[in-house]
Amino acid sequence: MAHTYEELKTKKVDDLREIAKELDHEAVKGYTQLTKAKLLEAICTALGLDTHEHHEVVGIDKASVKARIHALKAKRDEILASSNRDGLKQVLRDIHRMKRKIRKATV
């Protein structure tokens, strides 16, 4: 039976120990003494599952937004290198807005 991290995370310790009993892997040795967090980590290691949730960006083109941020950072560095600080505040605000746009679109 294929397990997912989200499914295993919601199970009780007794259920996780039953799953660990069926596995023959070095990571689950001593499964009866492990706490839920360590047992979950050991089972995920034995099954080859990622122990964290992956987030994805929906609704925007992340690559183009990141390219725009990179260009704005280059512009910021030019302004900081020069003695004239005109436009610095606007560039910093634009960088901030772009980063917020990515964070809002992350699910």
Residue 57 placed within a domain: no
Residue 13 placed within a domain: yes
Q: Alpha helices, DSSP H only, in the chain?
A: 5-10, 13-22, 36-47, 62-81, 88-105
- pTM of the prediction? 0.61
Residue 56 placed within a domain: no
Are both 67 and 40 inside the same structural domain?
no
Residue 55 placed within a domain: no
Q: Which domain holds residue 81?
A: 62-105
Span 28-43, average pLDDT = 93
Are both 38 and 69 inside the same structural domain?
no
pLDDT exceeds 70 at position 12:
yes
Indicate the helix (H) or strand (E) that contains 8: helix 5-10
Residue 30 placed within a domain: yes
**What is the pLDDT at residue 50?**
87
**What is the pLDDT at residue 45?**
93
CB-count burial class (<10 Å; 0-12, 13-18, 19+) for 2? exposed
Count of structural domains within the chain? 2
Residue 23 placed within a domain: yes
pLDDT exceeds 80 at position 54:
no
pLDDT exceeds 80 at position 53:
no
Are both 42 and 13 inside the same structural domain?
yes
